[in-house]
């Protein structure tokens, strides 16, 4: 899949089911939903990148 920008994660199509591995994948439904929520709240740029790392580690 390659590198995906933090701003583009919310537009990805989520997988059917989450694998719940230690570092969640970019297409995990949980990650996509959290990133959509953050973007709608107005988080941008480097803050969005930091939040992506935090969300994937959860």
1-58 residue pLDDT tens: 568 888 899 999 999 988 888 889 989 999 999 999 999 999 988 999 999 999 999 8
Q: Are 4 and 46 in contact (CB under 8 A)?
A: no
* pLDDT for res 51: 92
Residue 2 pLDDT? 64
The DSSP result for 9-43, as a single string, is GGGSPPPSS----SS--TT-HHHHHHHHHHHHTT-
pTM: 0.85
């Amino acid at each position: 899949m390659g590198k995906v920008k933090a701003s583009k994660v919310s537009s990805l199509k989520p997988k059917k089911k989450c694998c719940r591995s230690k570092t969640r994948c970019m297409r995990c439904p949980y990650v996509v939903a959290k990133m959509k929520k953050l973007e709608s709240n107005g988080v941008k740029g480097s803050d969005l990148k930091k939040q992506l790392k935090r969300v994937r580690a959860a």
